[in-house]
Amino acid sequence: MKKINSCICIEAYEKLNLRKIEESEKIVISPEMCMFVNDDDSGFIFEFILPGVKKDTIKLLMNDKQIFIKGESELFIYTNFYRLSGPVLHDKVKATYDKGLLRVEIPFKDLTTDMMDIEIN
């Protein structure tokens, strides 16, 4: 089985969707976004305001370095990429959507997980 770089997948997805966006008469804008560290300092919380967007039109992609969002309403296409400022566990993300607010919880990666003990002579 061939492993594909997830960053390449996101770039390919973006290129395919740019063609669709160009053919649409909707206005393309970046969603309003708020990002903060959660109360116990264990991860990021992103909140995206997507008024009029139905849940089934939202596309949320991410890897350990960036997050991509796209959602459509009758008049707008909300889309953007966001770079993450630290290592995260992108396979443990939780996302919820309610009344135009998409909340994405992204836990931090423990930086000591992959470290090894080095003997000092």
Q: Across the strands, what pairs with 21?
A: none
Q: Which CATH number fits domain 6-12+22-107: 3.30.470.20, 2.60.40.790, 3.40.50.2300, 1.20.1740.10?
A: 2.60.40.790
Give the pLDDT confidence score for residue 2 in this predicted structure.
Answer: 39
In the numeric block, which tokens belong to residue 119? 């003997």
Q: What is the greatest pairwise CA distance in the chain?
A: 68
If you average pLDDT over residues 3-8, what whole number do you get?
44
Distance CA 73, CA 96 (A): 18
pLDDT tens string 61-112: 998 889 999 999 999 999 999 998 888 998 999 999 999 999 999 999 887 7
Burial class of residue 117, CB neighbours in 10 A (0-12, 13-18, 19+) = exposed
Distance CA 62, CA 60 (A): 7
